Amino acid sequence: MTRLTDLSLAQARDGVAAGDFCAVELAEAYIAAMEGLRSLNCFILETPDVALEMAAAADARRTRGEGGALNGIPLAIKDLFCTKGISATAGSHILEGFVPPYESTITRNLWNAGATMLGKTNLDEFAMGSSNMTSYFGPVTNPWQRAGDDAKLVPGGSSGGSAAIVAAHGAVAAIGTDTGGSIRQPGSFCGIVGMKPTYGRCSRWGTIAFASSLDQAGPLTRSVRDAAIMLGSMAGHDPMDSTTVDVAVPDYEAELGQNLNGMRIGVPKEYRIDGTPAEIEALWDEGVSWLKSAGAEIVELSLPHTKYALPAYYIVAPAEASSNLARYDGVRYGLRVDGNTPQEMYENTRGEGFGAEVKRRVLIGTYVLSAGYYDAYYLQAQKVRTRIAQDFHDAWEKVDAVLTPTTPSAAFAQGDKMDDPIAMYLNDVLTVPASMAGLPAISVPSGLSGDGLPLGLHVIGRPFDEMTVFKVGQVLEDAANFKAQPQIMAGGG
């Protein structure tokens, strides 16, 4: 018999709706799974009692003939989302003990759709990182291991806990946030689907800010269909976030499953980056041929400013972070380390409360925003950002979506790249351009590396055209027929 934790979100939803099992049973199965996976350190806080209470409410709704699109679905929530009455840490010591008095719009939307909460997942501190190694609450371990090697690997980051727990079947689905790749890269490293919507599609209200002009919430799931279902409940205009856009949210799930006849897919030559392993190039070529077989026309594309995206991102993102993180002063939230004067208290609190990577970003950000350097760095980076967006804008005249690999490597070992921030930043070289341009993009598990680790392909779409991104993603998913499972799984599978 299929275990409840092996069902897709769509199957679990249909099972609850049909009364094949109840939401409480589903929650109990996932609570047991989550507890059995503690060695991965995916959660900063498990909330089994909340999950059971919400599940009982979901069952009651069903008996009354009610229930939203996610009725009774147990989710893992990145600990960057504010959850009313339940702690939110952002993976940082400085927010330890902070209990938000309000609910983020995204989580509220999910609860309104009937979903239940398993807990708050681990992440890189303030979502700054690509390995989940910068969390104050310790690293997350990827449930995948290299063939014949039990070295602990990173799950990617910053949504590492969310990706790892979904991959190991400890949650049906999870939500993350993506500023430069933090949903797509961990999705790729953990062999699951990770989707970043268009900037402005999902509300940022109640999501702890990293870089406000880039941050977007999105789903991490075990299939493209599940991601489409999740986004349908998350997305939408929010009067509390003026950067959300009031455009209709399509029924993504209903429109899935069509072929790609007449669709043009761009393959940008600038994404062929020196040093990319041959197996990733080969997977990309395979992806191209899958899309061709599904009826798409392949167009060679040039996005000339691609190579400036990562350096510009590492000016814009730290600049915004330094400003956003100025609010953590020991007065209003979480940690306070006393001193003899208020100034000393601020210094002590920030000195002890922030980790090394966050401090690096605050220093860089403050520097590029300072009077003498603003024009040379920050303004210049903003101009580059406009050029990157223009590249894509021009591309949409010729193509409907763009296909690239998600990451330049498979998952690496915990501790690798820690003494070389630039090597760590390079993880996002293929995901950052879409972030800078605010575009929707998905990573779909499409193959295995030589040593048996998942590799993702990446589809970027036009603004607010998540539908095409899902459709192309599903064609890749069907063609890849990715069935491999991680070594560490719920139930010890």
| Rounded Cα–Cα distance for residues 124 and 182 (Å) | 9
**410: which residues sit within 8 A by CB, 6+ positions away?**
189, 449, 451, 453, 454, 455
CA distance 124 to 399: 35
Is 476 in a helix, a strand, or coil? helix
Shortest distance (Å) from residue 231 CB to ligand GLN: 17
Enumerate residues 195-214 that contact ligand GLN by CB under 6 A: 210
Strands (E), 371-424: 401-405
Listed residue (171, 162, 175) closest to 12, CA to CA: 171
- Interacting stretch for ligand GLN, rule CB under 6 A, among 34-42, 55-63, 123-131, 414-422? 123-131
**Residue number, 287 or 365, with CB nearest to ligand GLN:** 365
Gap between the Cα atoms of 455 and 448, Å rounded: 6
Residue 14: φ, ψ to 5°: -65, -35
210/290 with CB nearer ligand GLN: 210
Q: Does 436 bind ligand GLN (CB under 6 A)?
A: no
Residue 39 main-chain phi, psi, to 5 deg = -60, -20
Q: Which stretch binds ligand GLN (CB under 6 A): 6-14, 175-183, 220-228, 461-469?
A: 175-183
Residue closer to ligand GLN (CB basis): 215 or 466:
215
Alpha carbon of 85 to those of 47, 50, 96, 237, 378: distances in Å? 12, 11, 14, 25, 38
Is 180 a residue that touches ligand GLN (CB under 6 A)?
yes
Token pair for residue 214?
């880039």
In the complex, what is the shortest distance from the CB of residue 152 to ligand GLN, in angstroms, rounded to a whole number? 20
Nearer to ligand GLN, 310 or 467 (CB): 310
Q: Examine residue 178 and tell whether it contacts ligand GLN (CB under 6 A).
A: yes
Which of 40, 75, 127, 368 is in the footprint of ligand GLN by CB under 6 A? Answer: 127
Size of the site for ligand GLN (CB under 6 A): 13
Binding of ligand GLN by 320 (CB under 6 A): no
Contact with ligand GLN (CB under 6 A) among 158, 322, 406, 443:
158
Q: Which stretch binds ligand GLN (CB under 6 A): 127-135, 258-266, 269-277, 295-303?
A: 127-135
Active site residue 135: no
Yes or no: say if 124 and 180 are a contact pair by the CB < 8 Å rule: no
CB of 398 to ligand GLN, least distance (A): 28
Task: By CB under 6 A, tell whether 365 contacts ligand GLN.
Answer: no
Of the candidates 202, 186, 205, which has an alpha carbon nearest to the alpha carbon of residue 194?
Answer: 186
User: CA 310, CA 442: separation in Å to the nearest integer?
Assistant: 19
When asked if residue 125 is in the footprint of ligand GLN (CB under 6 A), the reply is no
Nearer to ligand GLN, 316 or 402 (CB): 316
Nearest Cα neighbor of 192 from 183, 200, 201 is: 183
Of the pair 133, 227, the CB lying nearest ligand GLN is at 133
Q: Which is nearer to ligand GLN, 178 or 477 (CB)?
A: 178
Nearest distance, CB of residue 371 and ligand GLN, angstroms: 25
What percent of the chain is helix, strand and coil (3-state, nearest 5)? 40, 15, 45
The verdict on 182 binding ligand GLN (CB under 6 A) reads yes
- Candidates 128, 220, 457, 472; binder of ligand GLN (CB under 6 A) is 128
Q: Which residue from 226, 400, 428, 466 is in contact with ligand GLN, where contact means CB under 6 A?
A: 428
d(CA 156, CA 445): 14
Q: Does 91 sit near ligand GLN (CB under 6 A)?
A: no
The catalytic residue among 92, 182, 223, 443 is 182
130 binds ligand GLN (CB under 6 A): yes
Cβ nearer to ligand GLN, comparing 67 with 365? 365
The span of 5-13, 69-77, 126-134, 274-282 binding ligand GLN (CB under 6 A) equals 126-134
DSSP letter string, 21-66: S-HHHHHHHHHHHHHHTGGG--EEEE-HHHHHHHHHHHHHHHHTT-
Type of residue at 3: R
Based on the residue annotation, tell me whether 78 is a catalytic residue of this protein: yes
Phi-psi sector, 334: left (phi>0), alpha (psi -120 to 50), beta: left
Reply yes or no on whether 158 is catalytic.
yes
Tell me the catalytic residues.
78, 158, 182
Q: Which residues bind ligand GLN (CB under 6 A)?
A: 127-130, 158, 178-182, 210, 317, 428
